[in-house]
Amino acid sequence: MKFVDMTPTDFPSFENKPLNPNLCEPRKVNFQFNNIPKHWLNNSSVLTHYFNAMNLFLPAFEAFMVRVMRNELPRIKNTELEAPIRGFIKQEATHGQTHHKYNKILEAQGYKFKTILKIADFFFTEVLEKYLSPKMCLALISGFENIATVFSYIILKSNMLATANPTMRSLWEWHTAEEIEHSGLAFKFLNHVDNHYWVRILGGLLGTLMPIAALVVGMALLIMQDQSLTNQKTFDDLRKFLFTEYKFLPLTVKHMASYFKLEFNPKSEDLYQYGEKVFSHS
């Protein structure tokens, strides 16, 4: 696969380090967000803003995960989790910084979202981190990561980015492949600290509802600013995205439901092939 926006480095948009779930080392990135069209995926407001809406909130979600997990690192010191969790934290920090950079492009394209991002930051720092216990924050993170893994699997398996703007394709393939690489780790971290079923379920419920709410709000906000919220094409694209072509809604429900079973055990090995494919480009 060829990447655009080549710059004078020894790698294109991201370093092609092979998948290694035992270490989850972060990859160097070099995304040049030049000339990104407003609707960079299939010329569709719905498909583009599904990804853009995630982009809006990812810096806040990922910064929260990084802060909580860094603070809780002493709990897994000298265990087999320490090395991959350290890598995981670095991967999430890089994701957040990169999506923050892309949010500047969305701003330059004329989209307005500063207030909603301030509310999101406030919610994480002044509400969740102040009022939830560290173990409940870890349970929340485990829930976020479960839905991130499911989204990443659906995106990579369906090849829905095949016709995207090359830089954006590269951005989302890199991020989703690293989500696959570190999938299951947040659950293991939580399990090491607290393995009560109700803690996982409570965190899992909140950790599922929050990203979905952010996604719905973000998509509505961006599609509204395109003035296409009530267009027929928007409805058609939404139907294709959710139910007919990509089946995003039934697939999400199907794949995330197992997280709520008593005997849940993440089956990350089954997913690695999708991440390996991304990191085997030359």
Token digits of residue 280: 């085997």
Q: Which is nearer to Fe ion, 27 or 95 (CB)?
A: 95
For Fe ion (CB under 5 A), the number of binding residues is 4
Least Å distance between CB 232 and Fe ion?
34
Measured between alpha carbons, how far apart are the two ends of the chain, in Å? 7
Residues numbered 125 to 164 that lie near Fe ion (CB under 5 A) are: 148
* Ramachandran angles phi, psi of 28, nearest 5°: -70, 145
Q: Which region among 84-92, 134-142, 154-162, 208-216 touches Fe ion (by CB under 5 A)?
A: 84-92
Distances (CA, A) of 196 to 52, 144, 184, 260, 276: 35, 18, 17, 12, 33
Q: Which is nearer to Fe ion, 179 or 237 (CB)?
A: 179
Distances (CA, A) of 238 to 41, 59, 242, 267: 13, 25, 6, 30
- Is there a contact between 234 and 228 (Cβ–Cβ < 8 Å)? yes
Least Å distance between CB 62 and Fe ion?
5
Least Å distance between CB 265 and Fe ion?
18
Q: How far apart are CA 131 and CA 168, in angstroms?
A: 37
Q: Which is nearer to Fe ion, 45 or 55 (CB)?
A: 55
Q: How many CB atoms lie under 10 A from the CB of residue 83?
A: 14
Least Å distance between CB 145 and Fe ion?
5
Q: Which is nearer to Fe ion, 12 or 96 (CB)?
A: 96
Collapsing DSSP to helix, strand or coil, 50 comes out as helix
Q: Which region among 5-13, 30-38, 66-74, 88-96 touches Fe ion (by CB under 5 A)?
A: 88-96
Q: Which is nearer to Fe ion, 40 or 189 (CB)?
A: 189
Question: What sign does the dihedral 16-17-19-21 (CA atoms) show?
Answer: negative
Q: Which is nearer to Fe ion, 12 or 207 (CB)?
A: 207
Least Å distance between CB 171 and Fe ion?
12
95 binds Fe ion (CB under 5 A): yes
Q: Quick one: which of 74, 69, 92 has its CA closest to 187?
A: 69
Q: How many CB atoms lie under 10 A from the CB of residue 198?
A: 9
- Is there a contact between 47 and 237 (Cβ–Cβ < 8 Å)? yes
Least Å distance between CB 179 and Fe ion?
5
Least Å distance between CB 186 and Fe ion?
7
75 binds Fe ion (CB under 5 A): no
Q: Which region among 37-45, 150-158, 174-182, 263-271 touches Fe ion (by CB under 5 A)?
A: 174-182
Q: Which is nearer to Fe ion, 82 or 226 (CB)?
A: 82
- Is there a contact between 100 and 112 (Cβ–Cβ < 8 Å)? no
200 binds Fe ion (CB under 5 A): no
Enumerate binding residues for Fe ion (CB under 5 A).
92, 95, 148, 179
